[in-house]
Chains A and B, each alone.
Chain A
Amino acid sequence: METIQLLMHGFAVAMTPTNLMFALFGAFIGTLIGALPGLGPANGVAILIPLAFTLGLSPETAMILLTSVYAGAMYGGRISSILLNIPGDEPAMMTCLDGYPMAQNGKAAEALGMSAIACFAGTLIGTVGLIMLAPVLARFALTFGPAEYFALFVLAFATLGGIAGKNPVKTVVAAALGLMISTVGIDIATGTERYTFGLLKLHEGVDFILAIVGLFAISELLFFIEQRAGAGRKMVRLGKLMLRPRDVFSALPTLFRGGILGFFAGVLPGAGASLGSFISYTLEKKYLGKRASFGEGDLRGVAAPEAGNNGASSGALVPMLTLGVPGSGTTAVLLAMLISLDITPGPLMFTQNAEIVWGVIAALLIGNALLLLLNIPLVGLFVKLLSVPPMYLLPVVTMVAFVGIYSISHSPFDLYMMVAFGVAGFVLRKLEIPLVPIILGLLLGPEMEKNLSHALVLSDGDWSILWSSPLAIGFWVVAGLGLVLPYVIGPVLRRRVRKTMEETSASTN
Chain B
Amino acid sequence: MTARGDRILGIGLFVLAIVYGWTAQQWPEPFGAAEGIGPETFPTLLAVVLALSSGYLIVRPDPDAQWPRGRTAVEILLSIAILVVYSLLLEPLGFVIATTLAVGTLCWLMGARPVPAFLTGLIGAVVVFFLFNNLLALSLPAGLLGMV
Contact = CB atoms under 8 A, between A and B. Distances in A.
A180 B50 contact: yes
A499 to B, nearest CB: 22
A54 B136 contact: yes
B5 A456 contact: no
Contact of A195 (B6, B23, B30): B23
A225 B79 contact: yes
A221 interface: yes
Given A173-B57, A225-B110, A419 B124 contact: no
Contact of A190 (B23, B39, B56): B39
Contact of A179 (B46, B54, B91): B46
B15 interface: no
A177 to B, nearest CB: 7
Contacts of A431: 5-6, 9, 65
Interface string B115-135: 011001100110010001000
Contacts of A97: none
Contacts of A55: 136
B146 interface: no
B140 A396 contact: no
Interface stretch (A300-308, A367-375, A387-395): A387-395
A38 B107 CA distance: 16
Given A221-B79, A391-B112, A415-B87, A461 B120 contact: no
Interface in A215-251: 218, 221-222, 224-226, 228, 230-231
B112 A452 contact: no
Contacts, number: 169
B138 A172 contact: no
Interface in B19-62: 20, 23-24, 27-28, 30, 33-39, 41-43, 45-46, 49-50, 53-54, 56-57, 62
Contacts of B38: 190, 192
Contacts of B20: 180, 195
A389 B112 contact: yes
A406 B98 CA distance: 13
Contact of A457 (B37, B56, B111, B139): B37
A391 B33 CA distance: 56
A415 B128 CA distance: 18
A430 interface: yes
Contact of B43 (A166, A169, A194, A412): A194
B87 A192 contact: no
B39 A228 contact: no
A432 interface: yes
A423 interface: yes
Contacts of A460: 35-36
B13 interface: yes
B76 A461 contact: no
Contacts of A506: none
Nearest to B27: A192
A222 B124 contact: no
Nearest to B127: A396
B74 to A, nearest CB: 10
Contact of A226 (B33, B76, B106, B116): B76
A403 interface: yes
B80 A430 contact: no
A403 B140 contact: yes
B6 A461 contact: no
B140 A406 contact: yes
Contact of A399 (B39, B84, B125): B125
B57 A225 contact: no
Nearest to A193: B27
B23 to A, nearest CB: 7
Given A167-B62, A415-B90, A218 B39 contact: no
A457 B35 contact: yes
Contacts of B110: 224-225, 228, 390-391, 394-395
A194 B67 contact: no
Nearest to B125: A399
Given A395-B121, A457-B37, A176 B50 contact: yes
Given A176-B49, A395-B106, A403 B43 contact: no
11 contacts: A177-B13, A179-B42, A183-B46, A190-B39, A192-B27, A194-B27, A391-B112, A394-B110, A399-B103, A431-B6, A432-B62
A-B pairs, 9 with minimum CB distance: A461-B36, A415-B87, A391-B110, A395-B106, A192-B39, A190-B30, A461-B35, A176-B50, A187-B39
Given A457-B34, A462-B36, 11 more contacts: A169-B56, A172-B49, A176-B46, A183-B43, A195-B23, A389-B112, A398-B83, A399-B128, A419-B83, A430-B67, A461-B36
